[in-house]
Amino acid sequence: MSNINFLKLYLTCVIIWGHLQEHFFQPFRGDSPVLQKIGEHYSPLYAYAVEMFFIMSGYFFFHTLRNNKFNTIKDFCILKISRLWPAVAICVAAFAVIAAFDIVKFDKYRNFFLLLFLGDTAVSPQSGNVGVAWYTTNMFWAMLFYYFLIKNFNRGGG
């Protein structure tokens, strides 16, 4: 595995663990000093992992755009949806299963818009209530916007 793929895998694992810690384990910490210490030491690592992951994603995204691999906006959308949607669908489905045990509340209407990449947009001003998939709608539309800018305003070739 190349170094960059290992780093992406590591950051992904840290972020997933951070989301689990934040949304599921934190409410059960109570007064446990051990669990409190774990949370205190893990929070900065989690925050840096999220920032590093976004920086790396942005770098690779713009590198991909500069190579002009996409002829049309349709090609670009198909690729991005095919890469993002399965992760969102798995998160929403897993959250629905957890909600079936009355551990959390599942908002099927808000999560439906999340599956269509319409959460936090003018169509649906609220994102779904699946904590680990909140950013996908915003990321999809931001990538689409930057794709449009680069394709229409980058006439100088560099």
d(CA 39, CA 47): 12
Judge whether residue 156 has pLDDT over 80. no
Instruction: Give DSSP secondary structure letters for 93-124.
Output: HHHHHHHHTTSS---HHHHHHHHTT-BTSSSB
Q: What is the pTM of this model?
A: 0.62
d(CA 92, CA 106): 9
Q: What is the pLDDT of residue 54?
A: 82
Judge whether residue 80 has pLDDT over 80. yes
Q: Per residue in 103-130, pLDDT tens?
A: 667 676 677 777 777 766 666 656 555 6
Look up residue 157 and give its two tokens. 């070739």
Look up residue 76 and give its two tokens. 């670009």
Q: Per residue in 25-56, pLDDT tens?
A: 666 666 677 767 776 777 777 788 888 888 88
pLDDT band at residue 136, thresholds of 50, 70 and 90?
confident
Instruction: Please compute the mean of the pLDDT values over residues 82-96 and round it to a whole number.
Output: 82
Q: What is the pLDDT of residue 12?
A: 83
d(CA 50, CA 60): 16
d(CA 14, CA 64): 25
pLDDT band at residue 148, thresholds of 50, 70 and 90?
confident
d(CA 93, CA 115): 10
